[in-house]
Amino acid sequence: MNQRTANYDSLIRGVTIKGDTNAYDELFYGLIELAPKERVDSILYYSRIMAERFNYPRAYYDHLDVLCEKNKIKFDRLYNLDLTSVDNQSRKTIVEWLNRMLSDKMITQEEFYSVKK
């Protein structure tokens, strides 16, 4: 096993087992450099773990950002988020995530209702 693989495995353990925010950030920045098709599913997976298990605020937004990227939606701020052109299943997935963010107090009701659904 080479050093790079060992470090990657260590980062994954840090994220999935310990909820290590530094490991998550390092893993995220490593994944973000990959081509979009290669990174999307991995980022969705690890950001969801960090958000749901460890309540890491940044991971909630990373997850939403990549959901939007996957569905070719421009996302820079919640107030500008428009889901009206997205297929029903994708819209449902994103709205469910927004509901999760609302229930976990990562966004306000005002922000939630500002999204065009």
In Å, what is the CA distance from 75 to each residue of 1, 16, 18, 30, 109?
A: 39, 27, 30, 21, 18
Please state the rounded mean pLDDT for residues 9-36: 93
Please check whether residue 68 is in contact with residue 81, taking contact to mean a CB–CB distance below 8 angstroms: yes
For 42-79, what is each residue's pLDDT tens digit? 999 999 999 999 999 999 999 999 999 999 998 888 88
The pTM (predicted TM-score) of the whole model is: 0.90
Mean pLDDT in the chain? 92
pLDDT category of residue 2 using cuts at 50, 70 and 90: very low
For 61-70, what is each residue's pLDDT tens digit? 999 999 999 9
- The predicted pLDDT at position 98 comes to 97
